[in-house]
Amino acid sequence: MVCYKTFPKLLFSLIFVCLIFCLTPVNTVAAAEYPIKKDGVYDGVIGYGRSIDGTIYVPLRLLSEVAEAEVNWEAANSTITINRCDGVIIMLQPGNTQAKIVYANNEQKITMPAVAKLQGDTVYVPLRFAAENLLCGVEWDNEAKKVLLQKQFTVMLNETSNKFYILDFVNGKLYERDLNNKIVCLGQSEDIIEFYKTEMGSGWDKHCFSSVVTDIDSGCLLMDIYWDTVDSQMWTFWRLLITPDGVNNRSFICKNAFTQGNLYNDYFDGVNIWWPEKDQVLQLDAKTGETSAVYNYQRLLADMPAVQNYGFAFSDGEYMLLTYQKPETYYSNFPVLVNLRSGQIIDVFAELIPADAQSDFCYDGASPSSNLSFVRAEKGVLYFNYETWQKPDMQLTEQELSYQYR
């Protein structure tokens, strides 16, 4: 869940009233406009940059929205204050090339390549200044005459603790922001930087992503980032494990378009983290991240259906429940149970669903009439939700199915 902060409604009107007499005069010649495109958008133009006095400018409003920054106007000293999501504060004054950047332990004065300007009802800042200081990649495509805008971080919310986590891809840093907006840097990882270079830095207007964070009380931090091409031709799943001491940090990437027979997700059972890595599954202590057991799942999957990838649904240390989708199905997840000690494979789907009803799960160009999804495991019993849509009106009925495996 991403929290976007925008300008207060009266911000720009206050700027216009208070600053109109102190701004640097703008060239009376009409400024050329250039479209601004954001990553994750097909052909959508989210705004326009301008060439003013030979310098490319971009609207501060758009930058603040993409960078999830809070912008305030201080009338007493004619200063615009930009509060970045990672806690860094930037202060600048229209008509002045000097800007100040305040970090947690120090501050730095910088000289902008040109002054901030006001045109119409929009405040503009130089493109180069924005690219270097606002946590969003800003580039000028000289051949196409357009500005390319790409967010270089993601904000993740733990809905249990209501803490926010900011992942700065460019610098490889992870920040935690609590309910009082106190921001602490939890550490830095080369894995984060490498992920940005190989995945996010591969092109503009091609990707979008969502993220989920699991904060284990007094223990590890699990971060899942789902990375997708806009046309959904390739999914990338990135898992990041942050341990309290940083010694056992791990990173795992699965590209669904190019892999086969892999586990693409981790699993937390309340005590252990089940972590896929190359051709094995690691059983990790959720408090420390230390490895307590290792299972070779490629050997186990060798006798299973030849599908693209498997999802990790459940494990108790003796059994592992995996789910997969068949090419001809819409969204049904077919469960298989693996005995981690003996290697025995149990087709739970075939055990639960009668043979004459199994074809109802296939996708034939219209919506399927049945679906099976894993719900929970309790005391040696697996529980599933069995959905059926009765034709011709496709009325939905639901039924709980159980399978005792121990």
User: What is d(CA 316, CA 260) in angstroms, rounded to the nearest whole number?
Assistant: 25
Report pTM.
Answer: 0.61
Mean pLDDT of the chain: 75
Q: Provide the b/e sequence for 99-138 (b: ≥16 CB within 10 Å).
A: bebeeeeeeeeeebebbbbbeeebbbbbbebbbebbbbbb
Helix H or strand E encompassing 73? strand 70-74
pLDDT of residue 207: 52
Mean pLDDT of the 34-58 span:
76
In the numeric block, which tokens belong to residue 175? 């920040």
326 pLDDT higher than 90: no
Q: In what order do the strands lie in the sheet with 32-38?
A: 117-119, 122-126, 55-59, 45-52, 32-38, 146-151, 136-141
CATH number of the structural domain 11-150: 3.30.457.10
pLDDT number for residue 295: 82
Q: How high is the pLDDT of residue 233?
A: 54
**What is the pLDDT, as a whole number, of residue 100?**
93
Does residue 234 carry a pLDDT above 90? no
**Per residue in 300-313, pLDDT tens?**
666 666 665 678 88
11-150 against 152-302: fold identical: no
pLDDT tops 60 at residue 205 = no
pLDDT of 316 > 80? The answer is yes
pLDDT for res 118: 74
Which CATH number does 152-302 carry? 2.40.128
Residue 10: the pLDDT is 32
Is pLDDT of 406 > 70? yes
Range scoring the smallest mean pLDDT among 15-29, 38-52, 125-139: 15-29
What's the pLDDT at 97? Answer: 92
What is the average per-residue pLDDT within 235-261? 72
Amino acid identity for residue 219 in this structure? G
Share of the chain above pLDDT 90, in %: 12
Which has the higher per-residue pLDDT, 208 or 171? 171
- Single out the residue of 339, 304, 342, 340 nearest to residue 323, CA to CA: 304
Tell me the average pLDDT across 1-10: 33
For the ranges 8-17, 181-190, 289-298, which has the lowest average pLDDT? 8-17
Determine the Cα angle at 339 with ends 335 and 342, to 5°.
145
**How much is the average pLDDT of 175-189?**
77
- What DSSP string runs through 196-239? HHHTGGG-SSSEEEEEEEEE-TTS-EEEEEEEEETTSS-EEEEE
Q: What six digits make up the tokens of 211? A: 């993220």
On the question of pLDDT at 178 being above 80, the answer is: no
Locate tokens 């999914």: which residue? 235
Please say if the pLDDT value at position 18 is more than 50.
Answer: no
Please report, for the chain, the start and end positions of each structural domain, with discontinuous segments joined by +.
11-150, 152-302, 322-406
The pLDDT assigned to 307 comes to 62
Q: Count helices and strands (H / E) in the chain.
A: 6, 32
Q: What are phi and psi of 199, to 5 degrees?
A: -105, -55
Q: What is the pLDDT of residue 209?
A: 56
pLDDT at 404: 96
Look at 189 and 405; give whichever has higher pLDDT. Answer: 405
